[in-house]
A and B are shown apart, each in its own frame.
Chain A
Amino acid sequence: MSAKPNPPLWLLLELTYRCPLHCVYCSNPLDYTAYGAELATADWLRVLREARALGAAQLGFSGGEPLMRDDLEELAAEAHRLGYYSNLITSGVGLNERRIAALKAAGLDHIQVSFQDSTRELNDFLSSTRTFELKRRVARLVKQYGYPMVLNVVLHRLNIDHVAQILEMALELEADYVELANTQYYGFAYANRAELLPSREQLERAEELTRRFRSRVGERMKIYFVVPDYYANRPKACMNGWGAVFLCITADGVALPCHEARMLPGLQFPSVQSHDLRSIWYDSSAFNHYRGDQWMREPCRSCPEKGKDYGGCRCQAYLITGDAANADPVCDKSPHHARIVQAAEAAQRPQAGEAKPVLLYRDDATSRALRERAVR
């Protein structure tokens, strides 16, 4: 590394891996049950102070379900005192009037509520819970308390045809922003990829409906449509580069340059229980490993676009090519690009008459079973 890295600007705290939902595209690691105890309140408070001193300004409380932590209000108050812009990223489960009032008083700035779909049937099927009505109540509570609300819906083969209805629901619930986030294939989503990847036709239809809706409602509700990178020929600038702006702390206190990086073999991600964040961000070998472009191989090394996409996503390179230092195979210059094309081709099968898919749900029993399988 030559130049000194920029400070972290985005701090994401995955406060807990506990979650009442069991979403089939959860980004938590498959082996989330393997990790140690959650950090204590005092540790989280220290993390908040250290990251703010480094320059972090945007803060996400995530998980699992962050409302499973009963010290969330205390953490939100400290975040506010330190000058963060704080975002609660929640399924809505656990957000009652008492807690939302306390979070407001503590100075929480914004709440993102996830929905799985615009229909009760699919919302509840995808999360393996009965939470649809509850989420609608929570969304109303969020607006009642004067919060800006981002409504987040992860899109995939099973719900992407409902985009128009999802947008109508968001409008009805007075969302300020809607994120139509096509599934990113890591963790449980990767395990369920064959059932979740939409066809190109589905995707194009959803984009067109979104365009039309956007021109109809104008600025009243901002809509972000996150495209699935399996249909791209250049990779996403994942995290704006490794160790460039984003810092994630897992429930058990491990510092990561992205939510998924824990899966990468050969890297020792430091714990906030034994290191301060300044040394983790600037000096640890894990955070320096894929910084800049010295680590790159061909086709990235000589690519004129390497400063734009940073070689794409290390985790996707690892998952699909077996080596995190390879180019992200989404790139059509990658010798492994055919694997992305094959997955996308398989998704072009007709949907009519498709049986209800068999999916892997994110729950403790599944996570433990997967670990045992991996060990054997």
Chain B
Amino acid sequence: MSALAEDAVLEFARHYRFQWEPAQEAYVLLYPEGMVKLSATAGEILKRVDGASSLAAIIAELERAFPGADLRADVTQFLAHARDKGWICVR
């Protein structure tokens, strides 16, 4: 698993769709014949992946939304994991 650069701009991989599902009270990722139900934390991070924001901007945004927490390491690690799973990619 390689590291993600701070200036990497992230977007969802082709064929993956991220959306809120009220019945599951969760964000999900949808792809051909499959679905991943995301934890609340994963949902908060991934909803900021918009094809325009860099990793640094996503971290800053999350630190504004959840003040007082040091999120950098966890967010970076999760997004690298999401990249390795093929859910997101670097633009």
> B residues bordering A, Cβ < 8 Å?
14-15, 17, 19, 21-24, 28, 30-35, 86
Contacts and interface: CB of A to CB of B under 8 A. Distances in A.
B24 to A, nearest CB: 7
Nearest to B20: A83
Closest A-B pairs by Cβ, 9 of them: A55-B23, A85-B30, A148-B15, A110-B32, A7-B23, A148-B32, A150-B32, A87-B33, A58-B35
A60 B32 CA distance: 10
A112 interface: yes
A112 B14 CA distance: 16
Contacts of B31: 85, 110, 148
A117 B35 CA distance: 28
A57 B35 CA distance: 8
B21 A85 contact: no
Given A57-B28, A110-B33, A148-B32, A83 B14 contact: no
12 contacts: A7-B24, A55-B24, A58-B34, A85-B35, A109-B32, A110-B15, A112-B32, A148-B31, A148-B32, A150-B32, A150-B33, A176-B15
A54 interface: yes
Interface residues of A, number: 18
Interface of A is mostly: mixed
A9 interface: yes
B69 to A, nearest CB: 31
Interface string A176-209: 1100000000000000000000000000000000
Interface string A4-23: 00010100000000000000
A283 interface: no
Given A110-B15, A148-B14, A219-B86, A176 B32 contact: yes
Nearest to A55: B23
A85 B23 CA distance: 15
Contacts of A60: 33
A30 to B, nearest CB: 26
A65 to B, nearest CB: 18
Contacts of A7: 23-24
Contacts of A177: 32
Contacts of B28: 57
Given A9-B35, A109-B17, 10 more contacts: A9-B23, A55-B24, A57-B24, A58-B35, A83-B19, A85-B35, A110-B15, A110-B31, A112-B33, A148-B14
Interface in A73-116: 83, 85, 87, 109-110, 112
A130 B45 CA distance: 50
Given A58-B35, A112-B33, A177-B32, A85 B17 contact: yes
A85 B15 CA distance: 10
Interface in A137-185: 148, 150, 176-177
Contacts of B14: 148
Given A7-B23, A219-B86, A58 B33 contact: yes
Nearest to A222: B86
Given A148-B14, A148-B15, A176-B15, A57 B32 contact: no
A216 B17 CA distance: 28
A227 to B, nearest CB: 18
A112 B20 CA distance: 25
Interface string A52-75: 001101101000000000000000
A320 to B, nearest CB: 28
B33 A57 contact: no
Nearest to B25: A55
Contacts of B15: 109-110, 148, 176
Contacts of B86: 219
A34 to B, nearest CB: 30
Contacts of A85: 17, 30-31, 35
